[in-house]
Amino acid sequence: MTAQRERIGQPVDALDTPVLLVDAALLERNIEAMRALVLAAPGRNSHAAVAYRPHTKSHKSPLIAKMQIAAGARGVCCAKLGEAEVMVAGGVPDIHITTAVVGRSKAERLMRLAAAARVSVVVDDTENVAALAAAATAAGITLDVLVEVDVGQARCGVQGVEQALAVTDAIGRSRALRFRGLQGYQGRLQSIVELAARRTAVTEAMDKLTRVRDALESRGIACEVLTGGGTGSLPLDLEQGVLNELQPGSYVFMDSTYRQIDWTARAERTPFANALTVLACVVSRPLAERAVLDVGWKAASSDSGPPVLKSSGAAIEFAGDEHGIIHGAAAVARQVGAKVELIPSHCDTTVNLHDAFHLVRNGVLEDVWPIAARGRSD
Amino acid sequence: MTAQRERIGQPVDALDTPVLLVDAALLERNIEAMRALVLAAPGRNSHAAVAYRPHTKSHKSPLIAKMQIAAGARGVCCAKLGEAEVMVAGGVPDIHITTAVVGRSKAERLMRLAAAARVSVVVDDTENVAALAAAATAAGITLDVLVEVDVGQARCGVQGVEQALAVTDAIGRSRALRFRGLQGYQGRLQSIVELAARRTAVTEAMDKLTRVRDALESRGIACEVLTGGGTGSLPLDLEQGVLNELQPGSYVFMDSTYRQIDWTARAERTPFANALTVLACVVSRPLAERAVLDVGWKAASSDSGPPVLKSSGAAIEFAGDEHGIIHGAAAVARQVGAKVELIPSHCDTTVNLHDAFHLVRNGVLEDVWPIAARGRSD
């Protein structure tokens, strides 16, 4: 997993494995496809035209964040403060942090960041609001905050109007905090395969969000930004027009899970292509029908199942930290030393295992990009 | 997950989370317990006294490897060439690589390593043997090799006597390779909870290994080293006396999976304590009975299930890349900002997510050690 810069210009099969590959042309195509989709969408909601703020949890790279911004994105999302610090250090000017920043030390780090770039963060707890207000006041910063609403994920977020009002009241008590709007994200519906079932789930989630928005606005609390959504909900978020800022992440790379979902009612797939693979090598073939690869839990994430062969879509079997197995007829043609490309089941967590992207164009290693925010969950 | 050296001397609760903690006293106790166990064991097999060569896949740290060697270990094991390179760079003098090293580029790296330290590697394929022989000859090195035998893992390794003879014949054709013995490791039996059932599985595995050993030795091919075993099989490996070199890894840290296994027929637990935890923080508590932690798939591995609360042993629920949830009555007492220690389900893969160990003694941060071989599956 070390960066192999000395191999730039050589065929990708020359790389020592396992190594994370990015098809440079497909990455560029995915970023352009998102620009075309979102910026071509009519501004149907009552607030503003739809903007997009891609989630960097999928790539953890300031270089790719800046490509997204160059393609019309308003800014980016980061899952954690530590990731946001890496993005700002890498020259990204506008970041929304999609999880709460808790604790005095982190609040102080957040204020240092907000002094250096445009930064917003979600809140869902009155004591956390008070802590951020104290840190912002001490730093002489005005911090943008959005209230996270639980729209069905059953994780973080205010549970309804009453909690939302308690949190917005707490925000209103500090001149160092500026209420910007609401975040409503439902991760579990993103991978519902059938479009109609996903539409029902998106509608339910957006109903929860608009209930809170309407209650706040009826009290004169303007919700300028309604942010959320993902790669799976994208066509429905555009159709429904509730969100005015979209947070798709996985579209830059895609993975075997997202590639399965229908994009239209005719079961057509998404306009995004699998740009991310793990290059593996056959390291043992003790039986004709068992080819053992050098990719296990350390080189491909397992939270969403094993990776699949790029050539056929068939899943491999995980066989420990360092191994995966191709079984059956698919193994027969593969000799020890043969290279095999695998598509991860979950791009975010697979990227988090590696230190670098190896950019490939026309089969040749073009560049090596550090995954600068890898491991920055802090 | 950044190293927080500036917090040395402060209470561990001051650390920004999520962060990987090591209880320094328990780590030292585990290392001493292994020394006492193995070096006190009678040398029952016909080859030599039992030695131990701890597997560094669990800790990925040259500092801990050198503690193990200072406690009587013969050397260490590494899962991969990339890990071995880090160990040698960190001053570890004697390494056995427990998976095949495949491909010309890696063979050349292996020879550079073998010129700098005592190194051995497993083989199970005649073409791989020929490639290593060519690289060793070109480098002017004599390389120690052991033949891996599949003793029931159904992964890598020769499948029986015939394949073993083909591989030892190939080794014998090169003066640059020196056959040292056999490796037989069965990972899946390590976590069988009940001792008697684990004994049956170990016996079956050792029968496969001795069948190959006896066939080789009857042909005059001496198997000096029989290496294998793990933390779960340790009492049985000592009891059976087939292996003369043991490869336990997880005992330095333990995890929730290994802590469940019986060490004696009276269902007594292992002499090793859980020294490794992930320090988490409650970041949201939208309901009295739901406390959301900042530890998800990025800070604790999921391949062997979710981590458990150190306080109660109850599993948390994974809720995405960055979150885990404590449900029910256990959540009620935990306010936003509270710190919680989690025991990983699998130490190897959890360590692989982090950049540093934060050593704790008496509740105070004592030191920060880099996880120098993190991500080095190459």
Domain spanning B24-253, CATH class: alpha beta
A345, A364 contact by CB (below 8 A): no
Q: Which amino acid is at B118?
A: R
Judge: A294–B352 Cβ closer than 8 Å, yes or no.
Answer: no
CA distance A291 to B7: 48
The pLDDT of residue B19 is above 90: yes
Q: Which of B165, B145, B179, B152 is CA-nearest to residue B214? A: B165
Structure tokens at A107: 């609040």
What residue spans in chain A does CATH classification 2.40.37.20 cover? 5-22+271-370
Q: How far apart are CA B120 and CA B132, in angstroms?
A: 12
Question: What is d(CA B227, CA B124) in angstroms, rounded to the nearest whole number?
Answer: 15
Strands A276-287 and A290-293: antiparallel
Residue B172: in which H helix or E strand, if any? helix B161-172
Which of A147, A167, A321, A334 to mutate: most B Cβ within 10 Å? A321
Q: Bridge partners of B120?
A: B96, B144
CB contacts of B127 in chain A (<8 Å) are: 335-337
Using an 8 Å CB-CB cutoff, list chain A residues near B303: 297, 302, 318
Give the DSSP letter string of B198-255. Answer: HHHHHHHHHHHHHHHHHHHHHTT----EEEE--TTTHHHHHHH---SEE---GGGT--
Class of domain A24-259: alpha beta
Domain A5-22+271-370 listed as CATH 2.40.37.20: yes
Domain with CATH 3.20.20.10 in chain B: 24-253
d(CA A55, CA A58): 7
Count CA atoms within 13 Å of residue B42 on its CB side: 4
Q: What are phi and psi of B50, to 5 degrees?
A: -75, 130
On the question of a cis peptide bond just before residue B11, with omega within 30 degrees of 0, the verdict is: no
The span from the CA of A340 to the CA of A149, in Å, is 43
pTM above 0.95, yes or no: yes
Which 192-251 residues of chain A touch chain B by CB within 8 A? Answer: none
Query: Beta partners for B21?
Result: B277, B358
Q: What average pLDDT score do residues B48-70 get?
A: 94
Smallest CA–CA separation between B188 and chain A, in Å? 9
pLDDT tens by residue, chain A, 378 residues:
567 899 999 999 999 999 999 999 999 999 999 999 998 765 544 334 799 999 999 999 999 999 999 999 999 999 999 999 999 999 999 999 999 999 999 999 999 999 999 999 999 999 999 999 999 999 999 999 999 999 999 999 999 999 999 999 999 999 999 999 999 999 999 999 999 999 999 999 999 999 999 999 999 999 999 999 999 999 999 999 999 999 999 999 999 999 999 999 998 989 999 999 999 999 999 999 999 999 999 999 999 999 999 999 999 999 999 999 999 999 998 999 999 999 999 999 999 999 999 999 999 999 999 999 999 999
Q: Measured between CB atoms, does A349 come within 8 Å of chain B?
A: yes
**Distance between CA atoms of A2 and B375, rounded to whole angstroms?**
8
Ranges of CATH 3.20.20.10 domains, chain A? 24-259
Asked if residue B149 has pLDDT above 70, the reply is: yes
Q: Would you call B292 and A14 a contact, using CB atoms and an 8 Å cutoff? A: no
Taking the C-alpha atoms of residue A1 and residue A295, their distance in angstroms, rounded to an integer, is 11
A285 neighbourhood in chain B, CB within 8 Å: 125
Q: Does B298 touch chain A (CB under 8 A)?
A: yes
Q: Which of B16, B294, B375 faces A1 most closely, judged by CB atoms?
A: B375
CB-count burial class (<10 Å; 0-12, 13-18, 19+) for B175: exposed
Write the residue in A2, A19, A292 that is nearest to B155 by C-beta. Answer: A292
pLDDT at A333: 87
Which of B151, B321, B352 to substitute to test the interface with A, most A CBs within 10 Å? Answer: B321
Indicate the pLDDT class of residue B256, thresholds 50, 70 and 90: very high
Contact B32, A296 (CB under 8 A): no
H helix runs in chain A, sequence order = 24-39, 62-70, 81-89, 104-116, 126-139, 161-172, 195-218, 234-240, 256-259, 329-332, 347-351
Nearest-CA distance B118 → chain A (Å): 23
Nearest to B127 among A156, A320, A336 (CB): A336
Q: Does the pLDDT of residue B45 top 60, yes or no?
A: no
Q: Please give the interface size between A and B, counted as residue pairs whose CB atoms are below 8 Å apart.
A: 188
The conformation of residue B308, written as its DSSP 8-state character, comes to E
B102 vs A283: CB contact, 8 Å cut-off? yes
pLDDT at B52 over 80: yes
Q: Residue A303 is nearest to which of B16, B297, B375, comparing CB atoms? A: B297
* B281-318 tens-digit pLDDT: 999 999 999 999 999 999 999 999 999 999 999 999 99
pLDDT at B46: 38
C-beta of residue B174 within 8 angstroms of C-beta of residue B139: no
**B14 touching A, CB under 8 A?**
yes
Which residues share a beta bridge with A342?
A278, A309
Minimal CA separation from A163 to chain B, in Å: 9
Answer whether B163 touches A (CB < 8 Å). Answer: yes
Indicate whether B7 pLDDT > 80: yes
Beta-bridged to residue B228, according to DSSP, are B184, B246
Measure B32 CA to nearest chain A CA, in Å: 26
Cβ–Cβ below 8 Å for B352 and A298? yes
Nearest CA in chain B to A352: B298
For residue A150, which residues of chain B lie inside 8 Å, CB to CB?
286
Residues 6+ apart with CB under 8 A from A231: A190, A248, A249, A250, A251, A254, A258, A270, A272
> Is residue A226 within 8 Å of residue A184, measured between CB atoms?
yes
> Which residues on A lie below 8 Å from B79 (Cβ)?
321-322
Asked if the C-beta of A378 comes within 8 angstroms of chain B's C-beta atoms, the answer is yes
β-sheet bridge partners, residue B342:
B278, B309
Question: Would you give the DSSP letter of residue A270?
Answer: P
How far apart CA B248 and CA B237 sit, in angstroms, is: 11
User: From CA B146, how far away is CA B152, in angstroms rounded?
Assistant: 18
Tell how strand B245-246 and strand B225-228 pair up: parallel
The set of residues, in sequence order, having a beta carbon less than 8 Å from that of A218 and lying 6+ positions away, is none
pLDDT value of position B47: 37
Nearest-Cα distance to chain A for B172, in Å, is 20
